[in-house]
Structures are given as structure tokens and as C-alpha cells.
Chain A
Amino acid sequence: EVQLVETGGNLVQPGGSLRLSCVVSGFDVNDSYMNWVRQAPGKGPEWVSVIYTGGSTWSADSVKGRFIISRDSSQNTVYLQMNSLGVDDTAIYYCARSFGLLSHFDYWGQGTQVTVSS
């Protein structure tokens, strides 16, 4: 059975940092395109970052230079290091699998809440 479980969300002050984790079971993260997708309250989802099977990464302009996606194949886990957080980064963050940069998302985790507030 495929499962993606995100953790690490929290309340953080503007300018702060957080690291999110996504533990995957049922498939190998090395063989998949793994993404972070976020959803602000009352809004549609927004793609954030992807890590390719080969290890290359790509991020949305809104987070470029602040967020870093990575993976640990020994733990079958994907991470999102988030720095210089602002109030606009407040959202539920989901881990999701895709088939490339231009792809739909077939498996999603349950999400983890990130709130940026003073």
C-alpha cells in the first residue's frame, strides 16, 4: 500500500525556518518525481518544488532561493527546507508524486500545517 506521511509543520515567526519531512512507503523515492504542493486557506493548490529521479530540482519563482527540496534514499524520505518564511507561506504543505515536471499528481500525503505569524 502506498503511503506518504508529512511531518514538521508548525507555527513560526516571519523570517524563521522549518524543515518538512515526507516519509514514503510503497514505492522508491529514487524512482519517482517527488513534489511539494501547498494550499493556502480557501485557495487552490500551488506547486512548490520537485526533485527529479536523477536528483535535479526545480522550484516555483515564489520560493526560489528560499526553499530547498532534497531526499534521503536510505530513509525513503523527501524533505523541504524552508528559510526566510513570510506570512504568504502559510499553508498546508502536501508531498505528492508525479511523473515529471509537467505532470499530474497521483499520490498525495495528508499534509502538514505551516503557519507564519508573529
Chain B
Amino acid sequence: EIVLTQSPGTLSLSPGERATLSCRASQRVSGTYLAWYQQKFGQAPRLLIHGASRRATGIPDRFSGSGSGTDFTLTISRLEPEDVAVYYCQQYGSVPGTFGQGTKVAIK
């Protein structure tokens, strides 16, 4: 199965700063079958991005995704206090679909 490694483990930034989260796959991800989720404390994951770069319904445009092959990136262009959460990537190009271990985003 494909292993996803996310970095950094924790990202601590000031409001308004740009956050760049990385997701690296152990093998090439078929197509652009990569999604990103946001999980706030005590809540279920929420879909942000699918198809590597397509924002889900209702997601603010400060969230963007890019990448292909084995390297993918989630960018939050201007960090807001409500963006404090753990972010997970998921590949669904091969069975079984797998998730990364998460990147925690905190506000300074």
C-alpha cells in the first residue's frame, strides 16, 4: 500500500501568514487522486480539496492544492485563527486508499 508522509509535523504561524503543508507518497499516486482534509479538535475530518487541486463545496479560496506524482502541497494563503486544526492528505489512486499522519497548524 502507498504510505503518505506529511511534513512538517507542526506548523506555528501568525495570522495572515502563508502556510505550506507537504504530502509525499511512497509510490506515484495514480491520476491526481489526492485529497486534503481539515480536522478540528473533537470533530470529524472535513473535505477541503480533492483531485489534488479542486476545492470542495463551500471551502474558502485561501485554501489551494497542487502537485502530482509523489509530491503534493496544501497552501493556506492567509492564515486565520479558525484554521487551527490537523490537516490530513489521502490518496485514493490505489487500493487501499491511505491517509497521512497529519500536520498540526497552530497560531502564534
Point out residues on A near B: beta carbons under 8 Å. Answer: 43-47, 58, 60-61, 94, 101-106, 108-111
Contacts and interface: CB of A to CB of B under 8 A. Distances in A.
20 contacts: A44-B88, A44-B100, A45-B45, A45-B99, A46-B98, A47-B96, A47-B98, A58-B95, A60-B96, A94-B44, A94-B45, A101-B95, A102-B95, A103-B92, A103-B97, A104-B47, A104-B90, A104-B92, A106-B47, A106-B50
Given A44-B101, A111-B44, 15 more contacts: A44-B100, A45-B45, A45-B90, A45-B99, A60-B96, A102-B33, A102-B93, A102-B97, A103-B92, A103-B97, A104-B92, A105-B35, A105-B45, A109-B44, A110-B43
Interface of B: 33, 35, 37, 43-47, 50, 56, 88, 90, 92-102
Sorted from nearest, which 9 A-B pairs have the closest CB atoms?
A104-B35, A44-B99, A108-B44, A104-B50, A45-B99, A102-B92, A44-B101, A47-B97, A106-B47
Contacts of A61: 96
A43 B92 contact: no
Tell me the interface secondary structure of chain A in the complex.
Answer: loop
B35 to A, nearest CB: 4
Contact of A110 (B44, B92, B93, B94): B44
Given A44-B88, A45-B45, A94-B44, A106 B99 contact: no
Given A44-B88, A45-B88, A106 B56 contact: yes
A109 B46 CA distance: 10
A105 B47 contact: yes
Contacts of B46: 108
Contacts of A106: 47, 50, 56
Contacts of B90: 45, 104-105
Contacts of A43: 101
